[in-house]
Amino acid sequence: MSPPPGGRFVDTKWVLKKKRDECGNLVKFKARLTARGFTQIPGLDYDEMFSAVVRTDTLRLLLAHAIQYQLHTVQYDIESAYLNAPLDEEIYIQPPAMVSVPDGKVFRLRKSIYGLKQAARCWGETLAAVLKQ
């Protein structure tokens, strides 16, 4: 997409990792495109970045309650959680290195990516909406 007039762009960076097994043998290569969130300006690129966090005391209380009443507990690990959260703001990023894009074109993010200041908040809002349903 063409950049908006006077628009700001968030820079990106590739994070490359080599995954190894317990013996040290190379298993696979992983790549993740992350935003360089430190280039974002409060008030322009994001309004809030607060994310709700559970206090350890609250978690202990809930687990003690579950044990006392013999309730079944379940734990979930949601992979790529930040990547599933829709963004409220219009955020444009520079095309990452190793991606060929015509000159003068940029990417508009519709979903959050790692590194954005508001990524945790967007994911928290998405999770809260799903749990309320």
The answer as to whether 66 is a domain residue is no
The number of distinct structural domains making up the chain is 1
The answer as to whether 4 is a domain residue is no
The answer as to whether 70 is a domain residue is no
pTM for this prediction = 0.69
Do the strands 9-10 and 12-20 form a parallel or antiparallel pair, or are they unpaired? unpaired
The answer as to whether 39 is a domain residue is yes
Check whether 82 has a pLDDT greater than 90: no
More confident of the two residues 112 and 48: 112
More confident of the two residues 125 and 61: 61
What is the residue type of 80?
S
Which residue bears the tokens 């607060």? 50
Could you report the per-residue pLDDT of 93-124, keeping only the tens digit for each? Answer: 888 878 888 887 888 899 988 888 888 888 88
Residue (of 32, 31, 33, 44) closest to 91 by Cα position: 44
The answer as to whether 103 is a domain residue is yes
The answer as to whether 88 is a domain residue is yes
What is the residue type of 52?
A
Check whether 20 has a pLDDT greater than 90: yes
The answer as to whether 22 is a domain residue is yes
Which residue bears the tokens 């015509």? 102
Could you report the per-residue pLDDT of 56-78, keeping only the tens digit for each? Answer: 999 999 999 999 999 999 988 88
- Tell me the residue range of the domain where 87 lies: 9-51+82-132
The answer as to whether 105 is a domain residue is yes
CA atoms within 13 A on the CB side of 120: 9
